[in-house]
């Protein structure tokens, strides 16, 4: 079993216990595929210009130990190997963000140097001392992929987190590192699209939605698009979205062995069961909505009955309801409310009404 598949199975387990839909986990799965990642590189001029010089790409572990000895997790790390040229390797860190975070430049700096430290130590274990051999530091390119609706207001460069008046006195002698900011909305508006980049746009659109009702038809469109464009090998994110939405609707119609099915088919790109699972998910969601409507109508009728009874009692007995009596009315079912409402005129006092069972 590959390390990538192990990582995805770990994500499946997280999904199984997750109460809420996790956009970040879907994005991790989406960007764990080589073809998706390569298409994403098309948003950067250098990689567009030197795309034919890329020999291979390889996903790295997204966990590393920082300088304090603590374990840190990045969202996605890839290693890009170039053919003979000035650059041999570039490591790319991708962080997924839904909100602007003022300290993001600091986090990115920590991730970057923790990864750099890990790469240097890894070299030391396999060869002679890294610096004695005259090696250059590994080139690490940090990216923040922003999916929020608002503006990104955080500084891109860590030097902008210093006190500006003091920092200006030191000019180039203070630490400086800037991450690249990519907005999902801008990717979707990019006119230079191929089948895979169009697929990424469809996933981004789905992930921007806020309710299951709107997500299900988008999921159906993605499924159809994958088949039409012969991109079934990119079905994995659909598995994860299905599993998460199934969890949210607490669907009993969706196959109970969905998790096992997904694990078995991570490598195959099988789509046979997906359409039926989407339809079952739609049916389950419709049942949830219909039940909610019925419950709402019933609750509305009962609240109306409670209000009417309260007004009848206060008018007939010329007294206000006590807090205890209000609670009795609020907690009574429709049958008991009906008994009180039809028999209160035969009672000597308002207290006698609530003795009726």
Tell me the pLDDT tens digit for each residue of 139-167.
999 999 998 878 899 999 998 888 887 77
Residue 290 has pLDDT above 60, yes or no: no
Q: Tell me what pLDDT residue 18 has.
A: 44
Q: Is 164 helix (H, G, I), strand (E, B) or coil?
A: helix
Q: Tell me what pLDDT residue 122 has.
A: 77
| 305/301 Cα distance (integer angstroms) | 6
Strand 140-146 and strand 89-97: the pairing is: parallel
Residue 14 has pLDDT above 60, yes or no: no
Residue 119 has pLDDT above 80, yes or no: yes
What confidence tier does 178 reach under pLDDT thresholds 50, 70, 90? very high
pLDDT digits (tens, 9 = 90+) for 217-256: 888 888 888 888 888 777 777 777 776 666 655 544 444 4
Q: What is the mean predicted confidence (pLDDT) over 59-85?
A: 70
| 223/208 Cα distance (integer angstroms) | 17
Instruction: Note whether 306 and 337 are within 8 A (CB).
Output: yes
The more confident residue out of 124 and 203 is: 203
Q: Which two tokens stand for residue 191?
A: 């006119």
Q: Is 77 helix (H, G, I), strand (E, B) or coil?
A: strand
The pTM of this model reads 0.66
Instruction: Note whether 90 and 46 are within 8 A (CB).
Output: no
**Residue holding tokens 């860190």?**
93
Residue 8 has pLDDT above 70, yes or no: no
Name which of 248, 260, 231, 334 is nearest 285 in CA terms: 248
Instruction: Note whether 196 and 35 are within 8 A (CB).
Output: yes
Residue 4 has pLDDT above 80, yes or no: no
Tell me phi and psi for residue 292, to 5 degrees: -65, -40
């Amino acid at each position: 079993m590959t390390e990538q598949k192990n990582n995805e199975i770990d994500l499946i387990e997280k999904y199984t216990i997750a109460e809420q839909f996790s956009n970040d986990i879907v994005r991790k799965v989406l960007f764990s595929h080589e073809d998706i990642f390569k298409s994403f590189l098309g948003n950067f001029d250098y990689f567009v210009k030197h795309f034919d010089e890329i020999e291979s790409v390889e996903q790295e572990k997204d966990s590393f130990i920082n300088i304090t000895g603590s374990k840190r997790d990045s969202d996605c790390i890839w290693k890009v190997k170039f053919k003979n040229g000035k650059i041999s390797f570039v490591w790319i860190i991708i962080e997924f963000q839904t909100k602007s975070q003022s300290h993001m430049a600091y986090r990115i700096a920590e991730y970057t140097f923790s990864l750099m430290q890990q790469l240097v130590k890894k070299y030391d274990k396999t060869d002679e001392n890294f610096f004695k051999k005259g090696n250059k530091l590994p080139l690490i390119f940090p990216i923040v992929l922003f999916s929020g609706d608002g503006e990104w207001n955080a500084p891109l460069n860590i030097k902008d987190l210093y006190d500006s008046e003091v920092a200006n006195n030191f000019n180039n002698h203070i630490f400086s590192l800037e991450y690249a900011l990519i907005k999902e909305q801008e990717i979707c508006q990019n006119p230079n699209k191929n089948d895979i980049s169009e697929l990424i746009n469809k996933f981004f659109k789905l992930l921007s939605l806020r309710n299951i009702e709107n997500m299900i038809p988008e999921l159906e469109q993605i499924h159809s698009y994958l088949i039409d464009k012969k991109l079934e090998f990119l079905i994995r994110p659909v598995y994860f979205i299905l599993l998460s939405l199934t969890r949210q609707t607490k669907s009993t119609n969706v196959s109970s062995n969905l998790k096992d099915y997904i694990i078995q088919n991570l490598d195959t790109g099988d789509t046979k069961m997906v359409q039926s699972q989407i339809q079952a998910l739609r049916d389950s969601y419709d049942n949830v909505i219909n039940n909610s409507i019925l419950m709402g109508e019933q609750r509305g009728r009962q609240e109306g009955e409670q209000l009417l009874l309260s007004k009848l009692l206060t008018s007939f007995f010329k007294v206000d309801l006590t807090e205890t009596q209000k609670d009795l009315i609020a907690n009574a079912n429709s049958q008991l409310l009906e008994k009180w409402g039809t028999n209160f005129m035969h009672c000597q006092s308002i207290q006698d009404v609530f003795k009726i069972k």
